[in-house]
């Protein structure tokens, strides 16, 4: 639809000494998009962000911002706002001086600078702290000031490197909602780095899942969650039950799989095609497993009877571990339908829908 592309990475590669830390990185970020880089520690998130910002140069590949090739262009000429992974406010400057710093560099006049500082401090909901020093602020307030400082120059692109990771759980969530509101309000194109799947799922228009410097998948949160491109993506994005087995029957794109423990699993329509007798891995998320009091004389598809061995009450739901013969299953039960007794020792039967079964081929393990 002819959308403007704000950032483009073409075949970006980065090596430190002989370590390849980013490779084959291809991405187009549309104007106004909120993109997350999601992946475990060391997968190359900060390195990639630093190449976009200009603090690092790629070894290979091309980087474009608003259609202009940026390789070799210094950071201050890229008109970006950036919030770094570690606190980065100047300790000897007040909040107002910190926020105004980028404006001073750009020789914005005093009156206008004051006005703009006031506006961004309102935006991050901290209008009354301009005379304080960073050490007189809480961790969450400091991160908001860091965000204000990045926004005050009205950047064409906002880069955020784990801005919430040093905060406690409740504050993280609050600031996450705030970021979402901010983005809806000002619509600045944003690249957000995180290793927290919930943050990525809740904030992003699209997520780039990274693993050891490789892009595993780029997609909308729902696509990443429901149609993962690989086992890595599926397991990184949430808890899951993993079983292995063999395809014993095919019916269009539906499959019947017999697991190594003898369970029969019917899997609904899959993206990939499989052949008869193919070894596969089967995944079912804990929240998709339904638990009922044990019934006798069963053994059909998508069922397993067993015994609860452990239950953890977590407020809105409970997590149960169930042993069914040699198989161990984890289930997440909403406490709203807690008519069932979940005490350890209880005999239960587990079941799930074929639509909630994900099948992936076995042989891509080597990567
Ligand atoms: N200046 C450097 N010299 C050598 N190796 C580096 C350098 N910077 C990063 N690395 C290595 O590159 C890899 C990617 O690092 P990077 O900082 O991009 O990871 P990250 O995904 O941001 O991780 P985290 O979530 O822990 O911040 C790591 O293995 C790291 O040790
Ligand atoms: Mg990092």
Residues 257 and 293 in one domain: yes
Ligand 1 centroid, distance to 46 Cα (angstroms): 7
Query: Are 117 and 224 members of one domain?
Result: yes
Residue keyed to tokens 């074929």:
354
Do 187 and 258 lie in one domain? The reply is no
Query: In whole angstroms, how large is the CA radius of gyration of the chain?
Result: 25
* 198 and 57 both lie in a single domain: yes
Counting from 1 in the atom list of ligand 1, the atom nearest the Cα of 85 is 27
Q: 86 in ligand 1 pocket by Cβ < 6 Å?
A: no
Q: Which of 212, 235, 258 is the last residue of a domain?
A: 235
304 and 193 belong to one structural domain? no
Mean pLDDT, consecutive 10-residue stretches, the chain (367 aa), reads: 86 96 97 97 96 97 96 92 84 96 91 94 90 92 90 91 84 86 91 94 97 96 92 93 95 90 93 91 95 78 94 90 93 78 90 95 63
Q: Is 56 in the pocket of ligand 1 (CB under 6 A)?
A: no
Residue-number span of the structural domain to which 276 is assigned: 240-366
* CB 194 near ligand 1, within 6 Å: no
Give the domain CATH number at 267: 2.40.50.100
Q: Which of 219, 235, 251 is the last residue of a domain?
A: 235
Residues 114 and 93 in one domain: yes
Q: What is the CATH number of the domain that holds 139?
A: 3.40.50.300
Q: Mutate which of 20, 37, 44, 197 to test ligand 1's pocket (most atoms within 8 Å of Cβ)?
A: 44
Please tell me the predicted confidence (pLDDT) of residue 326: 87
| Alpha carbon distance 101, 86 (integer Å) | 18
44 C-beta closer than 6 A to ligand 1: yes
Residues 83 and 34 in one domain: yes
Please report the pLDDT score of residue 298 as a whole number: 62
Domain boundary among 205, 235, 265: 235
Distance between CA atoms of residues 304 and 89, nearest Å: 56
Residue 37 sits in the same domain as residue 135: yes
Domain count, the chain: 2
Residues 231 and 273 reside in one and the same domain:
no
Residue 43 Cβ < 6 Å to ligand 1:
yes
Give one DSSP letter per residue of 76-143, joined into a string.
GGS-EEEE-SS----TTS-HHHHHHHHHHHTT--HHHHHHHHHHHHHHTT-TT-TTS-GGGS-HHHHH
């Amino acid at each position: 639809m002819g959308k403007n592309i704000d950032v483009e990475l073409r075949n970006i590669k980065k090596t430190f000494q002989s370590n390849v830390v980013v490779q084959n990185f291809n991405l187009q970020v549309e104007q106004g998009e909120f993109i997350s880089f999601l992946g475990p520690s060391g997968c190359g998130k900060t390195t990639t962000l630093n190449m976009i910002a200009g603090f690092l140069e790629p070894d290979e590949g091309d980087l474009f911002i608003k259609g202009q090739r940026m390789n070799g262009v210094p950071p201050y000429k890229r008109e970006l706002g950036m919030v770094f992974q570690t606190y980065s406010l100047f300790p000897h400057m007040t909040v107002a001086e910190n926020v105004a710093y980028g404006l001073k560099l750009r020789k914005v006049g005093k009156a206008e600078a004051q006005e703009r500082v006031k506006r961004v401090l309102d935006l991050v909901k901290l209008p009354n702290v301009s005379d304080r020093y960073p050490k007189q602020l809480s961790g969450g307030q400091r991160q908001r000031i860091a965000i204000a400082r990045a926004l005050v120059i009205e950047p064409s692109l906002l880069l955020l490197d784990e801005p919430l990771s040093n905060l406690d759980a409740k504050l993280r969530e609050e600031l996450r909602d705030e970021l979402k509101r901010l983005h809806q309000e000002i619509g600045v194109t944003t690249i957000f780095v995180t290793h927290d799947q919930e943050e990525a799922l809740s904030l992003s228009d699209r997520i780039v899942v990274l693993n050891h410097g490789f892009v595993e998948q780029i997609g909308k949160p729902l696509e990443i969650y429901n149609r993962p491109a690989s086992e890595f993506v599926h397991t990184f994005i949430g808890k899951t039950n993993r079983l292995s087995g063999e395809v014993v029957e095919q019916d269009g794109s539906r499959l019947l799989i017999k697991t190594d423990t003898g369970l029969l699993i019917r899997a609904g329509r899959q993206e990939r095609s499989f052949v008869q007798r193919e070894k596969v891995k089967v995944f079912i998320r804990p929240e998709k497993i339904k638990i009922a009091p044990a019934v006798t004389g069963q053994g059909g598809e998508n069922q397993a009877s067993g015994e609860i061995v452990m239950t953890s009450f977590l407020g809105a739901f409970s997590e149960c571990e169930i042993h069914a013969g040699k198989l161990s299953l984890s289930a997440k039960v909403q406490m709203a339908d807690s008519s069932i007794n979940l005490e350890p020792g209880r005999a239960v039967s587990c079941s799930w829908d074929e639509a909630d079964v994900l099948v992936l081929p076995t042989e891509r393990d080597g990567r």
